[in-house]
Amino acid sequence: MDDMKTKFADWKDRLKDRHMLSISIVMLLLFLALITLFIYVLRKNQEYHMTSENGYNMSFYELVNCVDEIETYLAKAGITSTPEHATKTLTSIWNKSNLAVVYLSQIPIKTEGLSSAEKFLNQVSDYSYSLAAKTIGGEKLTDEELKNIEELHNYTVELKNILNQLESEINEGTLAWGELVKTGSKAFAQQVSHDETNAFGNIEGAFSEYTGLIYDGAFSEHMVSAEKKGLTRRR
């Protein structure tokens, strides 16, 4: 009888050990599954971050290219000799300005400087379109219109230089769009307004004196200030 009790006790102990072993194995598998899930989520997050960063960079580089071409075409438009040549150049400015606005809108932060740059590019697009509609009919650009083009060219050169500064910061790794998104547009805008060495702040400063063109166009009133003297075109 004692022998049977001993065997039964041993059997219960072995059963208990197996049960504990099974629980341990299940806990281990659960732990490994959680680790695997964590690594998977982490990698997906990194992939998403990289994809977003690449997308923002691509939009920014396309913006830089568009502004560079706008500057070149504006320089050509300022020395145009025939209405036919002017129409071709002004149409290119209109097209590239529209594209620049699209790429600028894809940048993941909003500041007063970028908003001013967007309004400026919209006006460059609208004004070049209105002039192209004139020259396509065989009319030449007036001295005042050529002066306006020169002024737009000067602002475009300044915008181009600032964007090149930003491009250098991106290439050097000192500026990452993802970090700016985390900071938040509002907080970043406040930081920019107190940091004149920041390229975004330079954009804001570059357009602080720009009052816009007064002409017959959809964007003519968007950047006109009654308190400042802006570029004008006879109606």
Report whether pLDDT(6) > 90: no
What's the DSSP call for residue 232? E
Residue 63 is part of a domain; what is its CATH number?
1.20.58
The pLDDT of residue 114: 82
State the Cα–Cα distance between residues 207 and 73, nearest whole angstrom: 21
- Domain of residue 174, residue span: 56-232
Residue 29 belongs to some domain of the structure: no
Residue 214 lies in a domain: yes
pLDDT-derived band at 44 (thresholds 50, 70, 90) equals confident
Question: Is residue 106 in a domain?
Answer: yes
Residue 2: which pLDDT band, with cuts at 50, 70 and 90?
low
Task: Answer whether 127's CB lies under 8 Å from 217's CB.
Answer: yes
Give the integer Cα–Cα distance in Å for 130 and 188.
36
Task: Give a yes or no: residue 209 inside a domain.
Answer: yes
Span 99-122, average pLDDT: 87
Residue type, 202: N
What is the pLDDT, as a whole number, of residue 1?
57
Residue 27 bridge partners (DSSP):
none
- Residue with the bigger pLDDT between 59 and 42: it is 59
pLDDT at 171: 80
As a whole number, the mean pLDDT across the chain is 78
Q: What is the mean pLDDT of residues 77-93?
A: 92
pLDDT at 235 over 50: no
* 42 within domain boundaries: no
Please give the Cα distance from 126 to 94 (Å, whole number): 7
Residue 43 lies in a domain: no
pLDDT(179) > 50: yes
Q: Is residue 133 part of a domain?
A: yes
Q: How many CB atoms lie within 10 A of CB 210?
A: 21
Is residue 206 a part of any domain in this protein? yes
In the chain, the number of structural domains is 1
Bridge partners, residue 231, by sequence: 213
Task: State the DSSP string of 52-65.
Answer: HHHHHHHHHHHHHH
